[in-house]
Amino acid sequence: MARWEPNAPERLVAAALGLFEERGYEATTVIEIAERAGLTKSTFFRYFTDKREVLFGGETVAGLLAEGILAAPPEATPLEAVAHALVIVGAQGFRAEYRDFSSRRRTVIATNPELLEREALKGLGLTAALAGALEERGIPFLISCVAAELGALTLKVSYERWCVDTASIDFSDIAIRTLGELQAAAAYVVASMVISTGES
């Protein structure tokens, strides 16, 4: 039986981020991460499938988004359900006390193509989680897809803003403001096109 280690995932994440900042992502090994956290390599792999995954904390945000969509009031429109989910992410995921950590994490990810690739794939998982939960509410497929894309784009832009914004560290505030801006942008985009008949 493995010994129970308190806060093992949190210690591993903190150790990994520190080492990536000091030595770079490439030059850091899983063994070094485990050692700095006072844990073993096998404990590392109990929580994370590989070195990249240590910065992507499982499926937490996708789960919060899906829960948030499904917990929105029955009369909520698709985008109101998305707004509800974003507020849940701010309250339970991207909390103010994690902002500095998130900002450091973002800087490390930006320096490494492998990490950027993993982040991109995680982003697609968030879109899929939103779309799936919206469809579960009985919203038609294409409408769910569009609302999910707007929600995922809002999350991405809001996360960037949250990491660098000096005026506010409240993720929910930033996300709702961003969703409003993207709603306005989307209204402009869809209003200003005359669909052609396909001849060109």
Contacting residues for 199 by C-beta, under 8 A, at least 6 apart: none
In this structure, the number of other CB atoms found within 10 A of the CB of residue 70 comes to 15
Select from 65, 66, 61 the least CA-distant residue to 133.
66
CB 50 to its own copies: min, Å: 14
2 binds its own copies (CB under 8 A): no
Find tokens 């994440």 and name the residue: 13
d(CA 24, CA 18) in angstroms, rounded, equals 9
**Cβ pair 111, 25 in contact under 8 A:** yes
For its own copies, the closer CB: 17 or 94: 94
1 binds its own copies (CB under 8 A): no
Q: Which of 59, 100, 121, 136 binds its own copies (CB under 8 A)?
A: 121
CA torsion through residues 33, 35, 36, 42, sign = positive
Task: Please list every residue from 48 through 87 that binds its own copies, using CB under 8 A.
Answer: 77-80, 83-84, 87
Q: What binding mask, one character per residue, do residues 146-185 give for its own copies by CB under 8 A, x or -?
A: xx-xx--x---x--------------xx--xx-xxxxx-x
CB 94 to its own copies: min, Å: 14
Q: Encoding tokens for residue 68?
A: 């948030």
Select from 83, 81, 80, 87 the least CA-distant residue to 69.
81
CB 186 to its own copies: min, Å: 5
Instruction: Return the range that interacts with its own copies (CB under 8 A); candidates 8-16, 40-48, 96-104, 186-194.
Output: 186-194
Angle at CA of residue 49, ends 85 and 38, nearest 5°: 100
194 binds its own copies (CB under 8 A): yes
CB 41 to its own copies: min, Å: 25
d(CA 167, CA 106) in angstroms, rounded, equals 19
Chain residues that interact with its own copies, rule: CB under 8 A? 77-80, 83-84, 87, 91, 117, 120-121, 123-124, 140, 142-143, 145-147, 149-150, 153, 157, 172-173, 176-177, 179-183, 185-198, 200
